[in-house]
């Protein structure tokens, strides 16, 4: 769930993520089905739409790289947000994002 929030937080930004090298030395591995859950189809459509909006080619490797960049950027945003102190703060952010025009 936190990874989905991070991913969506990055997608909500108006600018594309910076093409930075992302360390791949983690022991954590997650399938798309685990990441996306019941929202997996919607999340992949949102990612592809974002790639289209950012004029990024739609090749499988490029879309996968954009996913990693958005996830990494979103995790960074959530990690440094001083307004998030507990799960209640996540819920407030989510509710505020849903009510925004």
Structure confidence at residue 91 (pLDDT): 74
In whole angstroms, what is the distance from residue 101 CA to residue 98 CA?
8
Number of other CB atoms surrounding residue 9 within 10 Å: 21
pLDDT, one tens digit per residue, over 38-95 is 999 999 999 999 999 999 988 998 998 999 899 989 988 888 877 778 878 777 766 6
Q: How far is CA 30 from CA 1, 34, 83, 93, 101, in A?
A: 12, 6, 28, 25, 32
Number of other CB atoms surrounding residue 73 within 10 Å: 22
**Opening angle at CA 99, ends 97 and 101, nearest 5:** 90
Structure confidence at residue 46 (pLDDT): 94
Structure confidence at residue 100 (pLDDT): 54
Of residues 5 and 22, more confidence is placed in: 5
């Amino acid at each position: 769930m936190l990874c989905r929030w991070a991913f969506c937080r990055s997608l909500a930004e108006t600018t594309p993520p910076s093409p930075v090298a992302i360390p791949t030395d983690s022991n954590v591995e997650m399938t798309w089905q685990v990441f996306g859950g019941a929202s997996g189809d919607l999340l992949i459509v949102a990612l592809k739409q974002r790639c289209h909006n950012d004029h990024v080619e739609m090749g499988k490797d490029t879309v996968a790289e954009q996913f990693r960049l958005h996830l990494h950027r979103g995790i960074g945003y959530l990690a440094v947000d001083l307004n998030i102190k507990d799960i209640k703060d996540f819920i407030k952010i989510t509710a505020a994002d849903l009510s925004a025009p």
